[in-house]
């Protein structure tokens, strides 16, 4: 059996006390179709209870009344545990997102203050009018690198900032599908060799690069990814918490030795996100064993 992910046992989430659809910044959003507040809260609480029942820690950040999308905590910032010298405590660091859309930018100020109060070092790859847009839902640790989607939300320039500032290797994938505007809607690492992937989210070169990167991919069709949000799932050791699981996907996951737990978060699909969007892992370690020559390297797909 392959080794489980080394991360995914500590999350940050935002309680949906002010969740609603005030605008449309992705294809799922329609202000005429509002979530049911009581049902959304019930679904969110069930998700948090499920994660805690699996042994994961879930810290809760308060939601701003003027930030209805803040509940999608994955995009508040990219949290990493950065290696230090032997014998020294690891540094907890969050690269705060710089949102593409102005409607969400106020979220990161409140989140930055919360992370700083919890002892995290915080930084940005850009600020208003400077640097580059980065949204953390586009970034995942996998293999020897941080895999980052760019295009609809995260700018390509942000990859260079991340690699250089953090001293890590970044592998970029260009997202072209409007409905899978973040990588977390098309890519879910499962363990050191396996991941759920939807190549339809990417241009041809990036789709090939992703399939080469993952030794044992579980490929979702475009329809599966868009209608079930199956890639937008959370993995705790050998358990995958999913919003839905098509039968053939469940069969493969169980054949690999995973347990599947389905938690309905359908009210949050009205805002364009699911379980992964609602949770941000803060226990990701990257770069510890990276060769010096690879630090600061950006690898883009070859045409």
Secondary structure of residue 195 in the 3-state scheme: strand
Q: Quick one: pLDDT band at residue 129, thresholds 50, 70, 90?
A: very low
Phi first, then psi, for residue 39 (nearest 5°) are: -70, -40
Confidence (pLDDT) at 296: 85
Segment holding 42, helix H or strand E: helix 37-53
Per-residue pLDDT of 173-196, as tens digits, reads 999 999 999 999 999 999 999 999
* Residue 156 vs residue 2, higher pLDDT: 156
Using an 8 Å Cβ cutoff, are 277 and 268 in contact? yes
pLDDT above 90 (res 286): no
Segment holding 188, helix H or strand E: strand 187-189
Per-residue pLDDT of 287-302, as tens digits, reads 555 454 467 899 999 8
Confidence (pLDDT) at 125: 87
CATH numeric code, 10-299? 3.75.10.10
Q: Quick one: pLDDT band at residue 91, thresholds 50, 70, 90?
A: confident
Beta-bridged to residue 29, according to DSSP, are none
Report the phi/psi class of residue 30: left, alpha or beta, with left for phi > 0 and alpha for psi in -120 to 50: beta
Using an 8 Å Cβ cutoff, are 19 and 40 in contact? yes
Beta-bridged to residue 175, according to DSSP, are 202
pLDDT above 50 (res 164): yes
Quote the pTM value: 0.94
Q: Where are the domains of the chain?
A: 10-299
Cite the beta strand spans of 1-102 per DSSP E: 10-14, 57-61, 77-82, 91-96
Confidence (pLDDT) at 83: 62
Instruction: Say what percent of the chain tops pLDDT 90.
Output: 86
pLDDT above 70 (res 84): no
Per-residue pLDDT of 199-256, as tens digits, reads 999 999 999 999 999 999 999 999 999 999 999 999 999 999 999 999 999 999 999 9
Confidence (pLDDT) at 167: 87
pLDDT above 60 (res 2): yes
């Amino acid at each position: 059996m392959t080794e489980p992910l080394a991360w995914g046992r500590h999350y940050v989430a935002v309680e949906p006390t002010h969740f609603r659809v005030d605008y449309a910044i992705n294809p799922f959003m329609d202000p005429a179709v509002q979530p049911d507040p009581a049902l959304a809260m019930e679904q969110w609480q069930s998700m948090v209870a499920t994660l805690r029942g699996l042994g994961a820690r879930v810290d809760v950040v308060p939601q701003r009344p003027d930030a209805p999308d803040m509940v999608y905590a994955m995009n508040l910032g990219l949290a990493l545990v950065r290696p230090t010298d032997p014998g020294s405590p690891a540094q907890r660091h969050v690269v705060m997102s710089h949102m593409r859309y102005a409607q969400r930018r106020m979220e990161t100020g409140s989140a930055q203050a919360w992370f700083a109060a919890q002892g995290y070092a915080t930084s940005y790859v850009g600020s208003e009018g400077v640097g580059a847009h980065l949204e953390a839902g586009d970034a995942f640790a996998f293999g020897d690198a941080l895999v980052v989607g760019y295009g609809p939300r995260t700018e390509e320039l942000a990859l260079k900032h991340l690699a250089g500032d953090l001293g890590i290797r970044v592998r970029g994938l260009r997202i072209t599908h409007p409905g899978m505007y973040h990588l977390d809607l098309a890519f879910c690492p499962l363990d050191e060799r396996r991941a759920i992937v939807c190549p339809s989210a990417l241009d041809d070169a990036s789709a090939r690069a992703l399939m080469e990167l993952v030794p044992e991919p579980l490929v979702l069709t475009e329809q599966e990814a868009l209608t079930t949000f199956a890639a937008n799932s959370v993995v705790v050791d050998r358990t995958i918490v999913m919003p839905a699981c098509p039968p053939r996907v469940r069969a493969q996951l169980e054949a690999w030795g995973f347990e599947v737990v389905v938690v309905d978060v359908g009210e949050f699909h009205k805002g364009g996100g699911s379980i992964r969007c609602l949770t941000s892992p803060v226990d990701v370690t990257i770069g510890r064993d990276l060769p010096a020559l690879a630090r600061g390297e950006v690898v883009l797909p070859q045409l």
